[in-house]
Amino acid sequence: MDTVKLKGITKDYIWGGKKLFDYGKSSSQDIIAESWELSFFDDNESMIDSGKYKGKTLKEVISDKELGKNVKKFPFFPVLIKLIDANKDLSIQVHPSDEYALKYENSFGKTEMWYVVEADENSYLHIGFNKDVSKEEVERRIKDNSLLEIMNHIKVKEGDCYFIPSGTLHAIGKGVLVCEIQENSNLTYRVYDYGRLDKNGNPRELHVEKALKVLNFNKLIPQNIQSSVLADCEYFKVCKYENATIIEADENSFVSFTIVEGSGFVNDLPYSKGDTFFVPANGKAVIKGKNKIITTKIN
């Protein structure tokens, strides 16, 4: 299979905005909260948007060899890549570890990373506790609406990047657009949601009891990752390149890359910001034009 362009799967969650329309995303709704750029998730599988396989899902046409050897180490396709537009604060939440999720949820947990594509002035990410805390204190602060007082609030700008291990309390703040690379799981324990109501006027479900079982209660000092290697964990390796000209994948893994800035051509396919391409194992993409890209492969 040749390098192909993928079509994002858009979601209209209540906190979404309109920025992703400027990144080439489309929706029948007025807002887009997320665009799932690379997904093998059931009923949300990435569609191919170029070449002879256009209109088919990537999952139905890709071979094991084209995914690469490293994918075989996992009993599931290991990553999910998203663009996320937080027009409003996202809920304060936590994801369990694989060990816990497999034992109690018949699912995998979620470790993830955020690369800030855009950030409004005075916008924040919320990552971890700013001091050592107890389960009892967290439980009390959830009830009296003071949970944010014990969290790290990190003012962010374009190009900032943070790694979020499972067990870390976190949220994307209003005005931030991120590229998220995560473990392939949709398992989230919502801890606090500002008293918001869903589309039907009902309070959104919280999962406090479960969250308290998986939270890391230790003080965290979040690190802003500014190297070319943004994340390198047991699931994925993520890198940032500016004005890349060639992306090559070896036999060990495919390479997926998302254009966060620029325009030009990938193997004669036009690209602009927001586009995601998939390079099969042993494949190559030749890029012409100015660009800033985020690449993902499997470790």
Tokens read off for 176:
């931030």
Compute the distance between CA of residue 95 and CA of residue 111 in angstroms, rounded to an integer: 7
Strand 79-86 versus strand 112-119 pairing type: unpaired
End-to-end CA distance of the chain: 21
Torsions phi, psi of 208, nearest 5? -65, -45
Compute the distance between CA of residue 46 and CA of residue 36 in angstroms, rounded to an integer: 8
From 141, 190, 196, 204, the catalytic residue: 190
The answer to whether 190 is a known catalytic residue is: yes
HSE (CB half, 13 Å, CA atoms) of 235? 24
Compute the distance between CA of residue 256 and CA of residue 181 in angstroms, rounded to an integer: 11
Q: Which residue has the tokens 């807002």?
A: 31
Torsions phi, psi of 144, nearest 5? -100, 15
Compute the distance between CA of residue 73 and CA of residue 112 in angstroms, rounded to an integer: 19
Q: How many CB atoms lie within 10 A of CB 67?
A: 19
Task: Give catalytic residue positions.
Answer: 190
